[in-house]
Chain A
Amino acid sequence: MAELLGWVFDALLALALLLLAARVVFSPRLFESIVLFIVFGLLMAIAWARLAAPHLALAEAAIGAGITGALLLSTFRELVIGRTPSPEAPRVLVYRWHGLMALLAGGLFAVLGWALLSIDVPTGPVAGEQAMALLARTAVDDAVTAVLLDFRAYDTLLEMGVLLLAVLGARAALGSQGPASSDDLWTDGEGDTPMVGALVGMLSPLIIIMAGYLLWAGAYGPGGAFQAGAVLAALGVLLRLTGRIVPAPRAGVVQRGVLVIGMGVFTLAGLLTLATGRAFLQYPESLAYPMILLIEVALTLSIALPLVLLFSGSAGIAAGRSQHSP
């Protein structure tokens, strides 16, 4: 009975995901597409839960609910603000190869599905089992954290590089034009509502505690630097949206330091391990736990700040005046 119901649930979930994906692409209204994409993220979190991947559900919750949605909505805002409706109807471009593309995408699906389903389930020792065997020898109990920061630490190091590059790119694109939106629109003429101060006051400490908890929980269960950083970044987005922090034309020394500290500490740890005659990022057993913890703290900060800067679209951030309605 439970098995059948589980199957029904999965099938419904699959159907809903497909429906949402199709509607994101085909909806005539951009706003509807954005909302549906956010809902798609919610259902992806459920799918991760069904696939026994709580780490990913956590990351999806933190990034999907906190950052992606706000990023899309504020871009939408910038695209519609000050737009004078043109007298002629917007011309929708119809490509000549429309049908062919649909056909190709469908063909791609067929080939992908066929190829993927015909791969045999591996019978020998898989990479995961090797990692599980190695896990006994590492400092942290959680397999995914161990993979991220120990066995495949290169991935994480390079990911920090990508994040930094994205921020630099966004700054090159938008930074030269001054703050993204000098009109800090939260107030829009009406003044702040007192509710917002209460909201920010109540949520900020809770979100910071949650980030700390996730960082600490990463050693033995779902959590870790990524999720903690994303949750902190969501707090930054909330503060930015309510005018508690405002864009600044340039980043101070502290902010620049925070931007690179993740990569810096990681690289330094790698060089130290090299200097002591080990492989790059192969921590000595006695120091593995403190080193991983130190790297995780640095990574959390270096993940949170770039995401806030990407959202803000500016080179730096500064504390804003706190707004109180009379």
Chain B
Amino acid sequence: MSFLTGAAALLWVLGGFFFLSGTVGLLRFPDTLSRLHAVTKADNLGLGLILLGVAVHGASVVLAAKLLLIWMLALLAASFSAHLVARSHLRDEASRDG
């Protein structure tokens, strides 16, 4: 196993760890907003690490650029989604109390 494949494997395992923590957070955290926080942060870090691993394994600049684009878009989507879902959740809470 060369250095690159070893690095890729290490990155994948690290990414898998963040996915696992995201899932644990989704299942174990007590309320909606903290679950949202767990999923948005941990998962996208995990995705980034796994994509980085794929890029290292592929060892091609074009592929790496594409993977970077995928990750940036995933971050974009995650932050907008988190904002919108949190906002709609707070609105629901307000209408329930009010």
* A interface residue numbers (CB < 8 A to B): 190, 193, 195-196, 199, 202-203, 206
Chain B residue numbers with a CB within 8 Å of A202 are 76
Contact B76 A193 (CB under 8 A): no
Contact A199 B73 (CB under 8 A): no
Chain B residue numbers with a CB within 8 Å of A193 are 83-84, 87
Chain A residue numbers with a CB within 8 Å of B73 are 206
Q: Is B91 an interface residue (CB 8 A)?
A: yes
Q: Please, how many angstroms separate the alpha-carbon atoms of A190 and B95 in the complex?
A: 13
Q: Which has the most chain B C-beta neighbours within 10 Å: A193, A196, A199, A202?
A: A199
Q: Is B80 an interface residue (CB 8 A)?
A: yes
* B interface residue numbers (CB < 8 A to A): 73, 76, 80, 83-84, 87, 91
Contact A195 B84 (CB under 8 A): yes
Contact B91 A195 (CB under 8 A): no
Chain A residue numbers with a CB within 8 Å of B83 are 193, 195
Chain B residue numbers with a CB within 8 Å of A195 are 80, 83-84
Q: Please, how many angstroms separate the alpha-carbon atoms of A206 and B70 in the complex?
A: 12
Chain A residue numbers with a CB within 8 Å of B76 are 199, 202-203
Q: What are 13 A-B contacts with C-beta separation under 8 Å?
A: A190-B91, A193-B83, A193-B84, A193-B87, A195-B80, A195-B83, A195-B84, A196-B84, A199-B76, A199-B80, A202-B76, A203-B76, A206-B73
Nearest chain B CB to A26 CB, angstrom units: 22
Chain B residue numbers with a CB within 8 Å of A199 are 76, 80
Chain B residue numbers with a CB within 8 Å of A203 are 76
Q: Please, how many angstroms separate the alpha-carbon atoms of A302 and B39 in the complex?
A: 38
Find the A residue at minimum CB distance from B76. Answer: A202
Q: Please, how many angstroms separate the alpha-carbon atoms of A175 and B90 in the complex?
A: 35
Chain A residue numbers with a CB within 8 Å of B91 are 190
Chain B residue numbers with a CB within 8 Å of A196 are 84
Nearest chain B CB to A267 CB, angstrom units: 38
Q: Please, how many angstroms separate the alpha-carbon atoms of A195 and B79 in the complex?
A: 10
Find the A residue at minimum CB distance from B81. Answer: A199
Nearest chain B CB to A128 CB, angstrom units: 29
Which 10 residue pairs are nearest across A and B when measured between Cβ atoms? A199-B80, A195-B83, A195-B80, A193-B87, A202-B76, A190-B91, A195-B84, A206-B73, A193-B83, A193-B84
